[in-house]
């Protein structure tokens, strides 16, 4: 098992990381045999690039000597579209960014516009936001963890994860009528209050049933020796490099940096809630996987508190006055939320009209993926797949 990570400082002063394969240079007699590197294009149609990622990979046998991500296959010019939509209308487009966790996209945009326009969100709406965001975080992590199993060849965890995710999607569908493109968190609040009755029962049932299911599914992966062999010590990302690259979310916390927007730059109801920022010190694929699993448990913890708060905060107004035709004064604001993939920020400039003058989306997947060319080299092809899976990019979010 390869556990060592090498760092080399190359002439241009750029820090490069990589696996044990970096040392696999031919020595002695092998020099006499002329060998050539194999250049392959991994993706954009490839089962484990999680969408339309294309990697230009240079292989020396099974060793990856160079990896260069090529993105943009899903670019839809969302930032330009934003300049042609009203503040209220653009919210529906944000669903299409990180389509695995659209609630976070809704929230990031809504928080930014509220900051710019000085809107106050009603307390009940804040509670609804936390609940749907955390549910969505679990759903998103389940996709990530499940497909990670699939990347490593285990099919069952994927199905188990999607079965649980289905429960969450049903809950969210009851809340907002859609399973992926929620458009639920609106500028100034939420679209509608949470439904009562059956929804509440099923929500509580989910909170009770999910943790054992998660443990069971986790048994299949993180307690399996083959899985550990494939992930432990693979794709190590040291903390200083992770910060230098600006990574966030499980990728950064897997390297031991306790940076979570919900704690670092608190928003909404999060300062009142009790949860831990999950970190793992090792920075390898296993650490990133474990952070995701543990975050799901933390989300359940948050949701249990929210379940109590639902009784304390009475139903009432859920959309701030004047949110529909919001017209912020000229100015600019940067606001961010913790999406399942990390710091999802929106930099918004207003010129006083009803449409954004400029909107810049700080997508966590984009930043996290940029670290791949640094940590992806020096490993085997199979490890590269594991590393991509542990970074968990979503291409709606990367390419925007």
Partner 1 sequence: MGLFGRLVDDLVNTFVSILKGHQVTWRNLWRERVTLQYPNERPKLPERYRGLPGLHPELCIVCGACAKACPVQVINIQGRKIAGTRHRELVRYQLEAGRCMFCGLCEEACPTKPVKAIRLSNTFELAVADKSALVLEIPQLLEIWKSKPVEVPEEQYLAATPKKLAAQELAKQAEGEKPKAEGAEAAPRPKRVAAEGGPAGG
Partner 2 sequence: MSTELPDSPEEAKPADDIFGLYGLEDLLGEGVEVSVPPVGDPVVTIAREKLLEACRFFKEEQGFDYLILVSGVDRGDHLESVIHLGKADAPNIVILKTAVPYDDPHVPSVTPLWQGANWHERESFDLMGIIYDGHPDLRRILLFPEWDEYPHPLRKEFRLPSLEGKYTVE
Partner 3 sequence: MNLPITLTGIVEGALAPLGLQGLTPLVVYLLDALIILLLLIMPVVTILIWLLRKMLGFIQRRLGPMRVGPFGVLQTIADAVKLFHKEDLFPANADRVVFALAPFLVFVPAVLVYVVIPFGQGDGFVTKDLSVGLVYLTAVTSISAIGIITAGWSSDNKWSLLGGLRSAAQLVSYELPMTLALLGPPLMAGTLSLSGIVAAQQSVWFVVPQALGFLIYFIAALAEIAHLPFDLPEAESELVAGYNVEYSGMRFGLFFLGEFANSFTICLVATVLFLGGWHLPFLGGLPLTSWQTGLATVATMALLGGGIWYLNWRRAGWTSATRWHWLGYVSAAILAAIVLVAGLVGFISVVITLVKTSLLVFVLMWLRGTLPRVRVDQLMSFGWKALVPLGLVNFLALAFQAATGIPTGWVLNLLFFVFVGWLLLFAWRKRWAYSAVS
Residue 177 CB, nearest approach to partner 1 (Å)? 4
Which residue, 97, 93, 96, 125, is CA-closest to 111? 125
Per CB under 8 A, which of residues 108..137 are in contact with partner 3?
Answer: none
Q: Does 71 bind partner 2 (CB under 8 A)?
A: yes
Q: Does 151 bind partner 3 (CB under 8 A)?
A: yes
Q: Does 173 bind partner 3 (CB under 8 A)?
A: no
Q: Does 65 bind partner 3 (CB under 8 A)?
A: no
Residue 83 CB, nearest approach to partner 2 (Å)? 8
According to DSSP, residue 37 is labeled: P
Q: How far apart are CA 400 and CA 93, in angstroms?
A: 10
Q: Of 181 and 373, which CB lies nearer to partner 1 in the complex structure?
A: 181
Largest separation between any pair of C-alpha atoms in the chain: 79
Cα dist. 36→40, 41, 80, 227 in Å?
13, 16, 44, 32
Question: Quick count: other Cβ atoms within 10 Å of Cβ 6?
Answer: 15
Q: Of 115 and 141, which CB lies nearer to partner 3 in the complex structure?
A: 141
Q: Between β-strands 185-186 and 342-350, what pairing exists: parallel, antiparallel or unpaired?
A: unpaired
Per CB under 8 A, which of residues 37..56 are in contact with partner 3?
Answer: 38, 40, 46-48
Q: Which two tokens stand for residue 350?
A: 């207003």
Q: How far apart are CA 284 and CA 253, in angstroms?
A: 11
Q: Does 209 bind partner 1 (CB under 8 A)?
A: no
Q: Which of 156, 205, 244, 276 touches partner 1 by CB under 8 A?
A: 156
Q: Which does 40 bind (CB under 5 to 8 A by kind): partner 1, partner 3, partner 2, none?
A: partner 3
Fill in the per-residue mask, 224 to 263: x = in contact with partner 3 (CB under 8 A), - = not in contact. xxxxxxx---------------------------------
DSSP-based three-state secondary structure for 301: helix
Fill in the per-residue mask, 16 to 55: x = in contact with partner 2 (CB under 8 A), - = not in contact. ----------------------------------------
Q: How far apart are CA 361 and CA 346, in angstroms?
A: 5
**Which string of DSSP letters, residue by residue, matches 227-270?**
HHHHHTTSS---HHHHHHTT--THHHHTTT----HHHHS--TTG
Per CB under 8 A, which of residues 181..240 are in contact with partner 2?
Answer: none
Fill in the per-residue mask, 356 to 385: x = in contact with partner 2 (CB under 8 A), - = not in contact. --x-x-x---xx-xxx--x-----------
Cα dist. 8→5, 24, 247, 313, 325 in Å?
10, 14, 20, 55, 54
Q: Does 181 bind partner 1 (CB under 8 A)?
A: yes
End-to-end CA distance of the chain: 38
Q: How far apart are CA 44 and CA 69, in angstroms?
A: 10
> What number of residues does the chain have?
400
Fill in the per-residue mask, 2 to 31: x = in contact with partner 3 (CB under 8 A), - = not in contact. x-----------------------------
Q: Does 270 bind partner 2 (CB under 8 A)?
A: no
Give residue for tokens 């749907």: 132
Q: How far apart are CA 174 and CA 176, in angstroms?
A: 6
Q: Which does 72 bind (CB under 5 to 8 A by kind): partner 3, partner 1, partner 2, none?
A: partner 2
Q: Of 62 and 351, which CB lies nearer to partner 3 in the complex structure?
A: 62
DSSP-based three-state secondary structure for 65: strand
Residue 270 contacts residue 248 (beta carbons within 8 Å): no
Q: How far apart are CA 329 and CA 34, in angstroms?
A: 67
Region from 68-76, 79-87, 296-304, 334-342 binding partner 1, contact rule CB under 8 A: 79-87
Q: Of 227 and 259, which CB lies nearer to partner 2 in the complex structure?
A: 259
Fill in the per-residue mask, 84 to 103: x = in contact with partner 1 (CB under 8 A), - = not in contact. -xxxxxx-xx-x--------
Binding residues vs partner 2 (CB under 8 A): 12-15, 71-72, 75, 77, 79-81, 84, 115-116, 118, 241, 243-247, 252, 257-259, 264-266, 331-334, 336, 343, 345, 347, 349, 358, 360, 362, 366-367, 369-371, 374, 399-400
Binding residues vs partner 3 (CB under 8 A): 1-2, 38, 40, 46-48, 59, 62, 149-156, 159-160, 163, 220-230, 290, 380-383, 385
């Amino acid at each position: 098992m390869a556990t060592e990570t090498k760092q080399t400082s190359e002439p241009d002063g750029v820090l490069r990381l990589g696996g044990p394969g970096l040392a696999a240079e031919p020595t002695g007699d092998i020099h006499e045999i002329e060998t050539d590197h194999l250049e392959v294009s991994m993706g954009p149609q490839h089962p484990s690039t999680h969408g339309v990622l294309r990697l230009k990979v240079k292989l020396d046998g099974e060793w990856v000597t160079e990896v260069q991500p090529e993105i943009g296959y899903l670019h839809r010019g969302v930032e330009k579209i934003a300049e042609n939509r009203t503040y209220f209308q653009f919210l529906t487009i944000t669903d299409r960014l990180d389509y695995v966790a659209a609630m976070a996209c809704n929230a990031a945009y809504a928080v930014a516009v509220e900051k710019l326009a000085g809107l106050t969100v009603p307390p009940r709406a804040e509670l609804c936001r936390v609940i749907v965001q955390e549910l969505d975080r679990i759903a998103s992590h389940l996709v990530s963890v499940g497909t990670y199993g699939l990347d490593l060849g285990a099919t069952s965890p994927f199905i188990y994860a999607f079965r649980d995710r289905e429960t969450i999607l049903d809950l969210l569908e009851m809340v907002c009528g859609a399973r992926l493109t929620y458009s639920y968190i609106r500028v100034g609040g939420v679209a509608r209050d949470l439904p009562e009755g059956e929804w509440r029962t099923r929500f509580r049932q989910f909170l009770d049933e999910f943790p054992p299911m998660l443990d069971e599914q986790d048994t299949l992966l993180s307690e399996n020796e083959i899985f550990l062999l494939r992930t432990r010590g693979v794709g190590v990302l040291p903390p200083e490099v992770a910060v230098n690259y600006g990574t966030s979310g499980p990728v950064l916390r897997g390297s031991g940096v306790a940076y979570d927007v919900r704690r670092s730059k608190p928003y909404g109801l999060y300062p009142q809630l009790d949860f831990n920022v999950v970190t793992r010190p090792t920075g390898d694929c296993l650490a990133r996987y474990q952070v995701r699993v543990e975050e799901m448990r933390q989300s359940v913890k948050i949701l249990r508190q929210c379940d109590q708060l639902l009784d304390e905060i009475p139903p009432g107004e859920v959309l701030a006055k004047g949110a529909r035709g919001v017209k912020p004064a000229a100015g600019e604001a940067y606001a961010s939320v913790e999406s399942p993939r990390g710091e999802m920020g929106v930099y918004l400039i207003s010129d006083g009209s009803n449409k954004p003058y400029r909107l810049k989306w700080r997508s966590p997947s984009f930043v996290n993926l940029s670290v791949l060319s640094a940590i992806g080299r020096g490993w085997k092809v199979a490890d590269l797949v594991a590393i991509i899976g542990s970074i968990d990019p979503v291409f709606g979010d990367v390419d925007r």
